[in-house]
Amino acid sequence: MAATYDFPSDLLAGQEELRQVRAELLDLLKRLPWSVEPLDGFSDTGGWRKVERPASPGWTDDEQAEVEKLRRRERELAVFVSGHRFWSEVSPPDKVDARMRLKHTRDAPS
């Protein structure tokens, strides 16, 4: 039988916010130009894999600030979740299983 864990509400909330921040950051990075600084485009067809990039206008100051804000919050939440007092109550052999279950609590049927 699979183990069940009684995750504290603040840990669940931290994990959910971490998931949301990571999704928001990924979405933002997908929309931004490929280079932070303005760069010319290039094409490299001589390698084992063809690589092409259009010219990049770079990121604006606001875009850079938004990425930094999200990355900072992501780090804060990752530290909060991984260093939560709950983990000291879980036996070492069960920590990986517990961590995976926490990551997938949203996927579980209610």
Domain count for the chain, please give it: 1
Is residue 109 assigned to a domain? Answer: no
Is residue 75 assigned to a domain? Answer: yes
Is residue 110 assigned to a domain? Answer: no
Task: Say whether pLDDT at 63 is over 90.
Answer: yes
Domain, as residue range, for 18: 9-104
Is residue 15 assigned to a domain? Answer: yes
Q: pLDDT tens across 74-104, in order?
A: 999 999 999 999 999 999 999 999 999 999 9
Stated pTM of the model: 0.86
Is residue 83 assigned to a domain? Answer: yes
Is residue 4 assigned to a domain? Answer: no
Q: pLDDT tens across 11-37, in order?
A: 999 999 999 999 999 999 999 999 999
- Contact between 84 and 8 under an 8 Å Cβ cutoff? The reply is yes
Is residue 71 assigned to a domain? Answer: yes
Tell me what pLDDT residue 108 has. 62
